[in-house]
Chains A and B, each alone.
Chain A
């Protein structure tokens, strides 16, 4: 079939089963947008026009994280493309599969500082798993197929395809090809013919598996540390739960590992690291075997790499060989997909139990939760939990509210926590919540955001309102950049430099201006009623939750000090 490359793009998205695209049009991508009308692709692929390209990229990312499918976003050249970059970096740091299609100026204008020209493949080289500048119409379909394969495979990540405008207008032959056959054709086939790019996922090394089983047999105080790798690996969570329960040892989690084990599971010690629980952090220092699965020991987890789990034999299980020994020196590693490694371990792992060790780990009292009539952060999360039966997907922004969400909500399945862990992107939440809701229409989605973060990208209220996307926004309003204030309080002699946000707009009125009902809540009782109305409304809803300006995230360990030295209990 002969068709323009603009049409081929739409056909290739259909090949991949894409049902939703987030984007924003402009001069260079006009041919692609025209296809939605000209050949009616808008009926097959829903296009969500966001308020800003950053929002589009976060939405594609939120869609990907909460569904496990590849998220897709479109933007025009120049400022459209650069607006995506924070979103791309956010996806990259948390290994989220996103394909960004940007169009660039026509080839005859490239390299001439033409209007809205930017070298976006150059700019995004460090924040994409791979990127492409399409230079011939014949290779377009192939490049798109390769881009999707790369985005979703191995350790997933964002991929960008930049297509000059003249190419989108060129007509070439297009042969539809079902996804299952992509690997046998074109560039993918050529790539896979190389020994370095194996067609099949190689098996983990059986000797490596046996060695870990030996180490487990000798261990007296094992601790499992679960990270985002187990969330990203398809089908890994059931295998992980089986592994944890057979081993019957305590399990700590990074923020990205939230949902691997249910939050109220008796083996779960909570989050580890800078805002880790006493149980998790102290266990990491006392354990004699640390089995880390799909986690990269970031500086927010292993605050002092040389000191982290220093009594333990450290075993790292990861799909990405370059993560081994990157931050923390390990004693043993297994390279493989988490699901497969855990499955192989489960085949041979006998039942264990460590009653004394577990008793010790769980003997440490955690922070007492206040209940005194005024609204406390944990009560917001308890309310969401209770009124949605723990079913809600929680998207967050970045700051104290993010940590509280990770600490107090009981995540019970992968993809239920949508948060920017690696990049810490304020302004991520609203876009991400939109993507998560569109990917999971039958699950309630609640955005837990802060007054600072929300102001960064609240422009997406327009999107929420226009498409009537039933996201409930819970804004933790402490009138401050709380997380920064917390550091200023504890480390900078209470000099609150530039962190007061007392001049905030009336957020309830702001959401009403977008046609979104809003309420203000100052107690848990009020919040419960308002939340019930929000869920009842089946539309977007805004809840301003007033909390104490001086509320802090407990516990806290300063950057660069061992995880056992709590600055704040």
Chain B
């Protein structure tokens, strides 16, 4: 067996907004035995098109193949790997924290302020905080909140974009090469 170096890869995939497409995309990962670390889907400026951001650990050669196989699907319009140094990644994390006294509530609000997180729900016994950031920020916040008792935590999954004016739809030689496989005439 060759030793493979597994690193985190962030893929952005533009797809047809239709049923079945998500399982088609995720199937390609499970087939290779990759566990998806994070996945976020939503429509784009064009309601007929969705954008999927997928994070997965894998070695470079396998990722290349996966991207190639993704690009080949008819419901996939384009695939881009977002390199860490050239892209911005964010996710939204909601923490529901135990807060039964006003002292605790104040303390949590202060922590939230430091992280520029917002309080989005308050009850007599709890506070819910929404934080936007990358995983290091979320982790730091989580460590602090754990001392109060986290009741529930949920994340949207990472979304990411390339820095600068480039977009996922910009043409390059690779795109043309893939168009050939999808040409229907």
Contact = CB atoms under 8 A, between A and B. Distances in A.
Interface of A: 121-122, 125-126, 129-130, 133, 146, 149-150, 153-155, 183, 188, 191-192, 194-202, 205, 319-322, 324-326, 335-337
B71 interface: yes
Contact of A322 (B19, B24, B69, B183): B69
Given A149-B184, A201-B183, A321 B20 contact: no
Q: Which 3 A-B pairs have the closest CB atoms?
A: A322-B68, A149-B184, A335-B177
B7 interface: no
Contacts of B75: 130
9 contacts: A130-B74, A195-B179, A197-B183, A197-B184, A198-B180, A319-B180, A321-B181, A324-B68, A335-B180
A202 B71 contact: no
B184 A191 contact: yes
A110 B184 CA distance: 31
Contacts of A325: 61, 64-65
A129 B74 contact: yes
Nearest to B65: A326
A122 B23 CA distance: 9
B185 A195 contact: no
Given A153-B184, A183-B185, A199-B183, 9 more contacts: A126-B31, A133-B19, A197-B182, A200-B183, A201-B185, A319-B181, A320-B181, A325-B65, A326-B68
Interface in B127-164: none
Contacts of B95: none
Given A125-B20, A150-B184, A336-B180, A321 B68 contact: yes
A124 B164 CA distance: 40
Contacts of B179: 195-198, 202
A153 B72 CA distance: 13
A183 to B, nearest CB: 6
Interface string B67-79: 0110111111110
A199 B77 CA distance: 14
Given A125-B20, A195-B169, A196-B178, A321 B185 contact: no
Contact of A126 (B27, B65, B171, B183): B27
B123 interface: no
Given A125-B20, A202-B176, A335-B177, A196 B78 contact: yes
Nearest to A190: B48
Contacts of A202: 176, 179-180, 183
Contacts of B64: 325
A273 B55 CA distance: 38
B175 interface: yes
A196 B27 contact: no
Contact of B185 (A125, A149, A326): A149
Nearest to A146: B184
A320 B68 CA distance: 9
B55 to A, nearest CB: 21
Interface in B67-94: 68-69, 71-78
Contacts of B182: 154, 196-198
A449 to B, nearest CB: 32
Nearest to A121: B20
B91 to A, nearest CB: 27
A335 B182 CA distance: 12
B32 interface: no
B99 to A, nearest CB: 42
